[in-house]
């Protein structure tokens, strides 16, 4: 199957607000890691912003959970490995709290440059200290693959 798209027609000056997800699945710092895992699986996502009201305080990734599950699971033979290890940690202990954020007015090009220069696959979108969305490399690729 061949995909057809024209890079020449891609508008890179368009604000990121046009492709970001604005109905963001979030967690609170006091939520359990079991809840986090449930949200990752239910919504088929890999990053969840951690908020205090609408203020961003961190980001939890599915890889954060996989790292602790793997480390524990490599040496245990119990059926309920995740729940056991999840009780030993909290979201604030695992989440990343020094975050790069973008504004909803940043251009798609600016966000693409951040993705290229960093190891990030998602960026929280913050306006006036409030989480208003999230943009991922998948959002960017889907935008680039749009056909006229």
pLDDT per residue as tens digits for the range 83-117: 578 888 999 999 999 999 999 999 999 999 999 99
CA–CA distances in Å: residue 32 to residues 37, 90, 130, 139: 9, 7, 23, 28
pLDDT per residue as tens digits for the range 132-142: 999 999 999 99
Helix (H, G, I), strand (E, B) or coil at 99: coil
Please, what are the domains in the chain?
9-144 (3.10.580.10)
Cβ pair 127, 133 in contact under 8 A: no
pLDDT band at 76 (very low <50, low <70, confident <90, very high): very low
**Maximal C-alpha separation, the chain:** 55
Q: What mean pLDDT value characterizes the chain? A: 86
Provide mean pLDDT across the span 126-130.
95
> Model pTM?
0.82
């Amino acid at each position: 199957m061949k995909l057809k798209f024209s890079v020449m027609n891609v508008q890179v000056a368009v604000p990121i607000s046009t492709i970001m997800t604005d109905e963001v699945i979030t967690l609170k710092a006091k939520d359990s890691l079991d809840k986090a895992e449930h949200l990752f699986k239910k919504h088929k996502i890999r990053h969840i912003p951690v908020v205090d009201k609408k203020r961003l305080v961190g980001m939890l990734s599915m890889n954060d959970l996989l790292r602790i599950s793997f480390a524990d699971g490599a040496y245990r033979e119990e059926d309920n490995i995740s729940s056991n290890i999840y009780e030993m940690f909290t979201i604030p202990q695992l989440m990343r709290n020094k975050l790069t954020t973008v504004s909803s007015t940043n251009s798609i090009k600016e966000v693409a440059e951040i993705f290229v220069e960093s190891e990030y696959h998602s960026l929280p979108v913050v306006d006036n200290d409030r989480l208003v969305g999230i943009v991922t490399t998948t959002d960017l690729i889907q935008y680039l693959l749009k056909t006229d």
